[in-house]
A = this chain, B = another copy of it.
């Protein structure tokens, strides 16, 4: 279901995090440095994005690296294309 991803994208801070992660993977600290918010607040946003499966995380030593999960990201993009003509023809999604 796309409910969690859409809810996650509703917040501007989380959308900016997505944009940052589209550039390259980043640690939680590097991400937090881009905002005026406290680290716990950013951590909470990262947790929301993780629950929505829009990002993944991996610990490397002291740091936790976050990456964009392009699969779910793409599924959201597909919603916009499928919107209105789902179950009507052959599966002409995938790439555009």
Contacts and interface: CB of A to CB of B under 8 A. Distances in A.
A84 B18 CA distance: 8
A12 B79 CA distance: 12
A10 B15 CA distance: 13
**Chain A at the B interface: SS class:** helix
B6 A10 contact: yes
A22 interface: yes
A64 interface: no
Q: Across chains A and B, which 6 residue pairs bring their CB atoms closest together, nearest first?
A: A22-B84, A10-B10, A77-B80, A7-B10, A96-B96, A6-B10
Interface of A: 3, 6-7, 9-10, 12, 15, 18-19, 22-23, 73, 76-77, 79-80, 83-86, 96
